[in-house]
Amino acid sequence: MDVRIAVLPGDGVGPEVTAEAVACLGAVAEGFGHRFEFQEALIGGAAVDATGDPLPEATLALCRASAAVLLGAVGGPAWDRHPRNQRPESGLLRLRQALGLYANLRPVAVHPALEDASPLKPEIVRGTDLMFVRELSGGLYFGEPRSYSDEAAVNTLPYTRMEITRVAKMAFELAAVRRQRLVSVDKANVLETSRLWRKVVDDLAPTYPQVTLQHAYVDSFAMALITRPRDFDVVLTENLFGDILSDEAAVLAGSLGLLPSASLGGSVGLFEPIHGSAPDIAGQDRANPIGTILSAAMLLRHGLGLEAEAAAVESAVNAVLHAGHGTGDLQGARHAHGTRSLGALIREGIRSSVAVALRH
Ligand code: IPM
Ligand code: MG
């Protein structure tokens, strides 16, 4: 395969973690005989500083002309006082919307070597394997009207049947090939949007008879998620609930730094870790590169359709965690590493798993 991959390092730790993920993709290309052409562009605060715009036209054009987009993180205190459309986050939100990415997949699995890394009891987190499907291009994030003054501010939470249907279908389809369980999270006891959400999800259910559907209110689900996480498989949520619940779910995995995501639905997918730019540790070789490396694995699987290649990356990550390696955010990692040395270990793992595969 010969494809272009857009790389948007962004701010804070973004450049460090994307560098490790790109190097892993390079090892995959070498091992499996692909040609990946990586092209970098500006996004977020870095783009604001250079051009005044958190999503320059050239960046969007590059993304549209690429097979997939790998992103680091955006944001930081330097831009906190900027008006909304010049904040780094608005560049990311515009990119998601411009590419038509309505479904954000956030897998959360607890690695056996990291059962003690969570502040929760090991017997609670053990065996957790969740897939969040977060609606990504609607809801409160994009709702109009919106306004701000120092005395009163407005945001709106709109959803249409079409917007709910397309993301819910993706969740049902994922559940069908996983453990056939879907929980749809809403606040239908209070919000009209949630009533529609529930109705649309119920209307789809007969099309997927093999999937057991359950509805949950977001407040009680927030509690269930960390008291009995093993009871759930695929979790479908609207945009803001998904943002909040997926950070909460990171506690199960042991560190936010481990978790990847894939944003799908348009012609080009966007792959990014769920963590932010972590300005406090930026440039210190301390960030965990695994969330971005696993995002690169999702890029291979969902963006390029390269399943064996994705699996090679994931098994290299698993092996490294299994052997007790980790960055400082992982409680109980027996071998402490910086961003670069952990990335290098994972790359070695990719190379040797390719070598083994070639021998068979
Ligand atoms: C995420 C982030 C973003 C979001 C921010 C950076 C705009 O928190 O991807 O979860 O809220 O979607
Ligand atoms: Mg978030």
CATH number given to 118-253: 3.40.718.10
Query: Does 356 have pLDDT greater than 90?
Result: no
Nearest CA residue ID for atom 12, ligand 1: 243
- Choices 3.40.718.10, 3.40.50.460, 3.60.15.10, 1.20.120.550: CATH for 1-101+256-360: 3.40.718.10
Nearest-CA residue for ligand 1 atom 7 is 89
Cis amide bond preceding 206, omega within 30: no
Q: Print burial letters for 170-201: b (CB count within 10 Å at least 16), e (below 16).
A: bbbebbeebebebbbbbbbeeeebbebbbebb
User: Given this model, what pLDDT does residue 333 score?
Assistant: 83
Q: In what order do the strands lie in the sheet with 262-264?
A: 35-40, 2-10, 68-73, 269-271, 262-264, 103-109, 129-135, 234-237, 181-186, 212-217
User: 240: CA distance to ligand 1 center in Å?
Assistant: 9
Task: Provide the H-helix boundaries in the chain.
Answer: 14-32, 44-51, 57-64, 88-98, 122-125, 161-177, 192-204, 218-227, 239-253, 290-298, 307-322, 339-359
Give the whole-angstrom CA distance, residue 46 versus residue 24: 24
CA of 274 to the centre of ligand 1 (A): 7
In this prediction, residue 214 carries a pLDDT of 98
Pick the residue whose CA is nearest to atom 9 on ligand 1: 274
Give the CA radius of gyration of the chain.
Answer: 20
Lowest model confidence (mean pLDDT) among 174-188, 227-241, 297-311, 322-336: 322-336
Bridge partners, 325 (sequence order) = 335
- Sorted by where each begins, the domain ranges of the chain are 1-101+256-360, 118-253
Give the bridge partners for 215, in sequence order. Answer: 184
Structure confidence by residue, pLDDT tens digits, 256-282:
999 999 999 999 999 999 999 999 999
> Which of 25, 6, 97, 3 has its CA nearest to residue 289?
25
Ligand nearest to the Cα of 273, by number:
1
**Exposure of 315 in the CB half-sphere (CA atoms within 13 A):** 15
- Nearest Cα neighbor of 273 from 8, 4, 1, 2 is 8
Mean pLDDT for all residues in the chain: 96
The string of pLDDT tens digits covering residues 183-233 is: 999 999 999 999 999 999 999 999 999 999 999 999 999 999 999 999 999
Task: Report how far ligand 1's centroid is from the alpha carbon of 242 (Å).
Answer: 10
Same fold, 1-101+256-360 and 118-253: yes
Distance CA 19, CA 165 (A): 37
Position 26 confidence tier, pLDDT thresholds 50, 70, 90 = very high
Residue with structure tokens 């070789």? 285
Report the catalytic residues.
141, 187, 219, 243, 247
Q: Output the residue whose Cα is nearest ligand 1's atom 4.
A: 243
Residues 6+ apart with CB under 8 A from 151: none
Residues ≥6 apart with Cβ < 8 Å to 148:
84, 154
Q: Write down the pTM of the prediction.
A: 0.96
If one residue of 89, 96, 271 were mutated to test the ligand 1 pocket, choosing by the most ligand atoms within 8 A of its CB, it would be 89
In percent, how much of the chain has pLDDT > 90? 96
Instruction: Name residues contacting ligand 1 (CB within 6 A).
Output: 75, 89, 92-93, 243, 274
Number of DSSP helices (H) and strands (E) in the chain, helices first: 12, 14
The letter for the amino acid at 175 is A
CA of 260 to the centre of ligand 2 (A): 12
